[in-house]
Chains A and B, each alone.
Chain A
Amino acid sequence: GEDVEQSLFLSVREGDSSVINCTYTDSSSTYLYWYKQEPGAGLQLLTYIFSNMDMKQDQRLTVLLNKKDKHLSLRIADTQTGDSAIYFCAEMFNAGKSTFGDGTTLTVKP
């Protein structure tokens, strides 16, 4: 079955780069996503990458996709305290339904 795995915790200092990693198992995934969940809120789409791409950059965010290893990463440059949140990796393999990872809690220390 489909499975998405992430490490549970990451702690960085303000101004450093953060890298959150994810592995997935379904090679037929069409989209891969990063969602952000701030305290007390639902998830919100942060960025996504189509499965035929290797990289996507959006301001401070860089998404890298290694299809051979089924590995997805999210890099946040110049991490700020406002980036503290839970980050979920997700894959979509048919229209609408996605499988989510367990979430990585990012803590940014001043």
Chain B
Amino acid sequence: DVKVTQSSRYLVKRTGEKVFLECVQDMDHENMFWYRQDPGLGLRLIYFSYDVKMKEKGDIPEGYSVSREKKERFSLILESASTNQTSMYLCASSDTSGSPYEQFFGPGTRLTVL
């Protein structure tokens, strides 16, 4: 059974803290993604990675960075958390071979920044 796991379901941090969100997939997928989900705004892509140590900016990368040292793990880093980064964060992965190239999602991390 394919699986994408995220390190925390709920997280509460203070303004200015450095925050790490971890995502692990067990499907040997090349692509991994970080989104944030806000009411009325849908899913917005923050960063994605198509290979180890490779990363590309998505639509809203400001205030975030990522790390992919191993194929199965993709980390999202908030260098200095701010209240406007309070959101649901979703990680996903997908394969580059074999249609329909669907994305498999983790359960999400609800981050609150006080």
Interface residues of A (CB under 8 A from B): 8, 31, 33, 40-45, 48, 50, 88, 92, 95-103
Contacts and interface: CB of A to CB of B under 8 A. Distances in A.
Contact of B31 (A41, A96, A100): A96
Interface residues of B, number: 26
Interface in B65-114: 90, 92, 94-96, 99-103, 105-108
A92 B42 contact: no
Given A43-B103, A95-B101, A96-B31, 11 more contacts: A31-B101, A40-B108, A41-B108, A42-B4, A42-B90, A42-B92, A43-B105, A48-B102, A50-B100, A96-B48, A96-B95
A102 B44 CA distance: 9
Contact of A92 (B45, B101, B105): B101
B102 A33 contact: yes
